[in-house]
Structures are given as structure tokens and as C-alpha cells.
Amino acid sequence: MIKSNFREWTLDSIDEAFGTQQVDTLPVLEEWLSYSYQINDYERTYLTKLANNFLYHGGDDWNEVELENKFISPLFVFSEIDSKSFAYFLERELSVTIDNYELSGKVDGMIATGYRSPKKPYFCFNEYKRGTDPNGDPKGQALIAMLAAQNLNSNQKPIFGCFVIGRSWYFLVLQDNLYAISNVYTCTDEEIFDIYRIIKGLRHHIALLIQ
């Protein structure tokens, strides 16, 4: 049995070890990204202030903790992602055995069933200050956490994910052994409203999955 931390994985090593395959897109990803939500004036004002704070107060130089606390968590909390059935949890451990690998690691953020503590995860999130980091690869770390979540659920339902590199947001879906990654969304321009809309869609899709 091989013990491995999430931070050790890249997309290539995940594909080789577990037979996953990246595809251009998946229907569930396209449905998620196209979720329809009309932002009201209050939301528009708050999101604009959040984006401007990043843009004009050093967001590109924030470390991971600052990025999480000054931008990401306020955005998720404002989206009202939590419910009595599932919630957004931070810095929680995941561990699972898949084939000959004992995988474990701390996930920056996850949405999982549970009220006070996570049970079944359906969304895994990782944030990075920059594209290359001595502590791991953001794409690989997000996907391996999603693969762990898929195995913990023991079902064929899709797993949602996201990784953030500074101002750049990417969304991804893992379904069976296939995964797809979205084009980039930039949080410092009008795409902040798309990011918020997609997070709203995430709440909708997870609610449907756990019915």
C-alpha cells in the first residue's frame, strides 16, 4: 500500500494511476456553468466592492490565507451556500483508499452533507497565490480531492470542483472516470457576476444530488 498526500499529485499522475481522462467538456459542467440567476442591485453592489477590494488593495500579492479570508469566504458566505442539509467547510481532512493508494490531505474548502461536520463531499475547492507553488499543483490537488470524494460517496453522481490562482477561477466536474475543466473566469471584472452565479448554481445542483 502506497501512502500519498493530495499535494503530491498532478493531472498526469492521476490519469496514469487511476485511469481518469480529461475531456473538452461534460454535459453536467455545461449545465452548471449556464445556470440562470438574476443578480439584484444589492448583490451587484456588494460583488463590485469585493472585486474592487481585490483589484485596488493588493489582491495579486495576497497569500493563500489572505485570499481565502478577504475574498473567497466572503463570496461563498454571501451566496448563502449553507443549508441544514449541506454546508461549506474549510481546512478539513479527507482520506480514502483507492486501489493500492492510501490518499489523504487537507482540502482548502469543500461542500459536503452535514451540519456541524462534513459527511459526504460533493464539491472540493483549492486556492493558490500563483500558478506554480512549492506545495503542489492546483489542478491536480483539486482533482485528487474530487476523486477521493467520489469514492467516499460510492455512487455515480458527479463531483464538482474549483481551483483559484490569484484572480483566475476555474470550475471542473468529475463524472465516472472523465473530468472537464472550464475556461478561466476573472474575479476583478464583470466575470465576478458569473462566478457568483455559478456558485449559486452549485447550491442548486448539490441540493438535487442529495435528494
What is the number of structural domains in the chain? 1
Cell 455512487 -> residue: 155
142's grid cell: 483539486
The pLDDT value recorded for residue 16 is 97
Count Cβ atoms below 10 Å from residue 149 Cβ, excluding itself.
25
Contact 50, 195 (CB under 8 A): no
Task: Return the pLDDT at 133.
Answer: 54
Q: What is the pLDDT along the chain (211 residues), one digit of tens a residue?
A: 899 899 999 999 999 999 999 999 999 999 999 999 999 999 999 999 999 999 999 999 998 899 999 999 999 999 999 988 999 999 999 999 998 899 999 999 999 998 888 999 999 998 876 644 555 688 999 999 999 999 998 778 999 999 999 999 999 999 999 999 999 999 999 999 999 999 999 999 999 988 7
C-beta separation of 123 from 206 below 8 A: yes
Strands 86-98 and 101-113: antiparallel
Q: Residue 186: its pLDDT value, please?
A: 97
Q: Max CA-CA distance within the chain?
A: 54
Residue 115 is predicted with a pLDDT of: 83
Domain that holds residue 180: 2-209
pLDDT score at 96: 92
